[in-house]
Amino acid sequence: MKPDAREPGQRDSYLPKWEPERFIVPLLAKRIAEVFGQYGNPPCPGAQALDAGCGMQPFREMLMDAGYRYVSLDAIQNRAGTVDIVTPLDEPLPAGAAERGPFDFILCTEVLEHVADWNTAFANFSRLLAPNGRILITCPHFYPLHETPYDFWRPTPYAVGNFAKKHGLTVVAVEQTGGPWEVLGTLLAESHAYPAGPRFKDRLLAKIFRMWRDFGYRVLKSPAWRSRVDLKGPYFLSVIAVLGKE
């Protein structure tokens, strides 16, 4: 399914839904669980977690199993009608929203690229987060346009750190996940070759490129191939950051 044809905010599982997701989604599902296990702060009785940009709440079970009382927030109500606070992250919080907190843990995964005003969003994070709380954020850095026209950013780790600092939050941990193998796979997933003109040479070269692309994509999808070559380079799929509040 094309990225701009998907209903926004409605992911109900962290499984790939279209070809470019084949690399980033399983990687994030694994790392989100691992990072949460490391920084999720075993909660005290009554601790709350906010799932910001929750969609169909694929991480609800993870947060509740850890012992948190689950609260959800999204810009639109989901099709199940289970969003507790319906408001965009980059608008002033509606009456009563801040009073639902403070939250000991905030999860915001693959959401901030769709948020136009990061200053307001990070101010809201700071207001909602409890002292000594944690925020787990993920954002794509290399990824096709999706959920257009609400697709604004491909941030670096430094962008996340800059906005965190401006709003009284500290960077506890940050990483770049998904290297050149995954970047190449994501690129080829939506790269298609067509003849530039009606000439035989154009058609032949387009066919050769398609064959090369299909072979390369099969290689990039194969864990066996990737395990034999350690491909290095300054390219990555996603930023994962853990922020804190003193």
Task: Answer whether residue 18 shows pLDDT above 90.
Answer: no
Rounded Cα–Cα distance for residues 42 and 175 (Å): 22
Question: What value does the CA radius of gyration of the chain take, rounded to a whole number of Å?
Answer: 20
Q: How confident is the model at residue 227 (pLDDT cuts 50, 70, 90)?
A: confident
- Would strands 238-244 and 170-177 be described as parallel, antiparallel, or unpaired? antiparallel
Q: Please write the tens of the pLDDT for every residue from 50-82.
A: 999 999 999 999 999 999 999 999 999 999 999
Q: What is the pLDDT of residue 209?
A: 95
State the burial class of residue 82 (Cβ atoms within 10 Å of its Cβ: 0-12, 13-18, 19+): middle
Is the pLDDT reported for residue 3 higher than 50?
A: no
Alpha carbon 98 to its chain's center = 24
Query: What pTM value is reported for the model?
Result: 0.91
- Structural domains present in the chain: 3-179+231-244 (3.40.50.150), 182-228 (no CATH)
Residue 172's pLDDT band (boundaries 50, 70, 90)?
very high
pLDDT of residue 43: 74
Give pLDDT tens digits for 140-150: 999 999 999 99
Closest CA to 57 of 12, 21, 89: 12
List helix spans (H) across the chain: 21-39, 60-65, 118-128, 157-166, 180-189, 200-221, 223-228
- pLDDT category at 236 given cuts 50, 70, 90 is very high
